[in-house]
Amino acid sequence: MLETLKSRLLLMFRNHSLPRWMVLFLDMGIVYFSFLIAYTLRYNFEIYTYEISLSFRQAFFVLAVYTLFMLLFKSYSGMIRHTTIKDTYKIIFSSTSALIVLFLITLMSRYYEWTPLFNIPLSILLINYGAVIMLLFFFRVGVKFFYEFATSIPKDRKNVLIYGSGETGIIVKRVIEGDPKSEYKLVGFIDDDRKLQGKKVDGSPVFSRNIIKKRFIEEQEIKVFIIAINNITPGRKKDVIKSVIEFGCEILDTPTFDTWLNGKLQVKNLKKVDLEDLLGRDPIKLDLEIIEKGLIDKTILVTGAAGSIGSEIARQLTRFKTRKLVLVDQAETPSYYLEQELKNKIPGCNFRIIIGDVTREDAMDRVFDKYRPEIIFHAAAYKHVPIMEVHPREALRVNVGGTKNIADLAIKYSVQKFVMISTDKAVNPTNVMGATKKICELLVQGYSRRKDIKTQFITTRFGNVLGSNGSVIPLFNKQIREGGPVTITHPDITRFFMTIPEACQLVLEAGFMGNGGQIYVFDMGEPVKVLDVAKNLIRLSGLEPEKDIKIKFIGLRPGEKLYEELFAEGEEHITTHHPKISIARIEENSFDTVLKWINNILTSLYKSDERELMEQLKEIVPGYKEKPELIS
């Protein structure tokens, strides 16, 4: 019976939310009839002792004054089923203002002997004032009471803590309590403001972050933790997540206001926090003036533009006033998706998608001849270590051959700047992919030292980027969704991690820092154990490692290192004005010798057997040490 009543009330609230104009008319009705009641109370219900028609006319006059201040203070505009103290203040302010004006009009009417319409007994005005405030207040409280009764949460819902009791936190509270399909039940707020701790906000208790202990989480059966502070700093967000993650709670984040549907937050908008939130990096400060000066009114060519790095570079470039973006990639479907994204999200962007292979000199020559690019960001490459171990010829053809081809065309068409994307795997490489990228570094360095060319050649080197295509993070997430196990090659393996936007911002910054010839190395922070990454991803999904999702070690893959390095032995480490960018100064090599080696290896790709190719790689890259025991 009770549940039936609640369901009917809830249906009524969902289907009949009062519009503002209706609330205004209801409030006006309360004012009008309150005045008539005040008249009868003033004269002890002896209606024959006063002129009834005059009381009705005065009621309309009082109503006009009250309505004026209702409109000024917008006391009718709040969602009455979510009445707060602010709504009560509006009622008091508007009613008090109306009372003061009516008092003044009455006193002036008596002094100047105006018409009886304006000469209202002051006692009636006071009675009406008190009655209006009480009736408007109880009208709203009554609606709120029935709404909260209708939406009272069943016991089978998940207990929730909200971090942040400000405006966003209150919005999240009302959303999860107001959605009948919501699976959440609020236990309280967590807030760092000591003035709020121990008190209640919107009817819910506010706790200190110190309360987040295993005992409290278990006693309160907390299953979900929602971060409801939009302007939270990365470092603070990291600390908050780390304080909760070990307890197995599902951790959700509140999206920014501009992503809310029609300006309204919905339960389905709450999203799981990202692994990059656990990096806690401060936003990168770019020298936008230098970057803008280098890009303004320029035609920019991006190779590998549909890949993780290339597409993000393209997005970053749309912030600047370039003349045209020429986006080259051989992958048709990702290129289509990139095209649709730029069309829909950045309609004013002048770009052209080109399906093309960077290793085909004739095709790329036509692109250069037609668009005459002035700056090149070369991100096209094969990057998957185990696959390239099996296909070393393709790694050399695309990574080395493609880089040489684009670099040669850059020189031919007098491109101003050529920025190549390298990798930490090029440092003391133990795999084919890393060795090919090291050759690319040597090639670009060689070109940069030539005095007969105008093109500035620059190399950027960084480690793994979170969430890139085929990287470990999407793989782990897929394995978690499928119920495990999560596979890791070795319990001690570590990697540097950086977000894709962060890496690409630094690529733009480094691209305009020098005059060419530098290898810029990005600060990746401290290396992170991949095992810790896997455990954190499992916990961020609201699950417990080993209990809900098993972790399985499968052994190092062919060519894989236990740890990565950003600087090779013997490379000089030089700081720059940017705290996150350094320069690696490598030993000079004979460019003619390097170029001869590269030409020989490219021309003999499909003539030599793989063992001969490996020997040639060792000759070109002295630091390359293949691990035959890992090759199956």
* Chain segment 368-422, per-residue pLDDT in tens: 999 999 999 999 999 888 888 888 899 999 999 999 999 999 999 999 999 999 9
Q: How far is CA 28 from the centre of its chain?
A: 45
Residue-range domain boundaries for the chain: 2-150, 158-273, 288-623
Q: What is the pLDDT of residue 15?
A: 47
| Fold observed for domain 288-623 | Rossmann fold (3.40.50)
Percent of the chain exceeding pLDDT 70 equals: 84
Which of 144, 237, 425, 438 is labelled catalytic?
425
Instruction: Tell me if residue 337 falls in helix, strand or coil.
Output: helix
Q: Which of 68-82, 84-98, 451-465 has the lowest mean pLDDT?
A: 68-82
Query: Binning pLDDT at 50, 70 and 90, where does residue 36 land?
Result: confident
Q: What is the pLDDT of residues 302-337, one digit of tens each?
A: 999 998 888 988 988 988 888 999 999 999 999 999
What's the rounded Cα separation, in Å, for the pair 57 and 333?
Answer: 74
0.75 exceeded by pTM: no
β-pair type (222-227, 250-253): parallel
Q: What is the pLDDT of residues 596-618, one digit of tens each?
A: 888 888 888 887 777 877 887 88
- Check if 223 is active-site: no
DSSP string of 418-477? EEEEEEGGGSS--SHHHHHHHHHHHHHHHHHT-TT--PEEEEEEE-EEET-TT-HHHHHH
DSSP string of 249-289? -EEEEPPPGGGSBTTB--GGG-EEPPGGGGT-PPPP---HH
Q: What is the pLDDT of residues 261-316, one digit of tens each?
A: 555 677 677 777 777 777 666 656 666 677 888 888 899 999 999 988 889 889 88
DSSP 563: S
The pLDDT mean for the chain works out to 81
Q: CATH number of 158-273: 3.40.50.720, 3.30.420.10, 3.40.50.460, 3.60.20.10?
A: 3.40.50.720
Query: Binning pLDDT at 50, 70 and 90, where does residue 536 land?
Result: confident
* Amino acid at residue number 211: I
Would the CATH topology of 158-273 be identical to that of 288-623? yes
